[in-house]
Structure 1
Amino acid sequence: MKITLERKNTEYLLEAKGVSGNTVMIDHSGMETVQGVSPMELLLMGVGSCSAIDIIHILKKQRQEITSYKVVVEGERYLLDDSMPFKSMHVKVILEGEIDAQKAQKAADLSFEKYCSVSKSFDKCVEITYEVELKTV
């Protein structure tokens, strides 16, 4: 896996590009005008999107009808020398549709405990908790 970063202005704005050619704008969150997401936000987005792909895939295989999928990821940071890494993350998965609650919970369990490479990358250093909220239609 490989990405490239290219500076796009005279400050901190960077364009990240993956092998697919798709791009993400990254910026310093302390700037007056922020034109991209921060690197720390990208980490939260990675956990949320990786688990989303897993959960949607598992539920589709079980013929569950997802009409809406939303994820909220919150991270708690702490001061470590001169940096502020994540101490913990909490992921709230909000599903709507014709979905069996037990199947939704099992899909989340499988994602966070077995499949999600992003959250598994944090196993030794960040506590990741999750919950599933199922809204009926």
Structure 2
Amino acid sequence: MSDKVVTHWKGALQFESDNPSGKLLSMDASSEAGGYNSGLRPKAMMLSSLAGCSGLDVVAILKKMKVPFSDFRIDTYGELTNEDPKYYHKVSVEYHIYGDQLDEKKIEKAVNLSVEKYCGVMEMFRQFAEVKTSIHYHNS
């Protein structure tokens, strides 16, 4: 299976990229770097991809396990190297789950399945970064 993404220059430092779903996203640099700050930053999108990939897994697994929750948030932090080309060498993924009487054992199992088995983006990150994960339970 392969994906194709087409990225088109829109002027200055702005780019627009499609997705196999047909959706478009805009990318740009900060004003300090010569951009207009009008789009997403490419490296930060990598952190979003990591969180999205794992989040999709966790929600699907929790649904199959019939584990109720009221809200779910993933905070992802990346530390860049100091030398060019700068890349994330340390990444922290914090899973925040909210609800009444959360089943912590099942939630931990769902997160671990994503982290260790299903999330391909997580595996890609492990090829170049130290990845740490944590789960935070917010019982109502």
- The normalised TM-score by structure 1 is 0.92
The structure whose residues are more often strand, as a share, is 1
- Matched AA of 1:6: H
Shift of 1:124: 2.4
Q: Percentage identity across aligned positions?
A: 26
TM-score by length of 2: 0.90
Q: Tell me the distance in 1 between the aligned counterparts of 2:67 and 2:34.
A: 43
Task: Tell me the equivalent position of 2:97.
Answer: 95
| CA drift at 1:20 | 1.5
CA separation in 1, counterparts of 2:52 and 2:59?
10
Relative to structure 2, which stretch is displaced further, 28-37 or 85-94? 28-37
User: CA RMSD, aligned part only?
Assistant: 1.3
Deviations 1:74-127 (A, max 9, x none): 0011134x2111111000111112430111111111111111000101222211
Q: 2:125 aligns with which of 117, 122, 128?
A: 122
Distance 1:105 1:31 in 2: 43
Structure 2, unmatched stretches of 5+, are: none
Deviates more, 1:44-53 or 1:118-127: 118-127
Runs of 4+ in 1 over 4 A off after TM superposition: none
Q: Is the 2:29–2:35 contact (alpha carbons within 8 Å) kept by the matching residues of 1?
A: no
Matched residues, number: 135
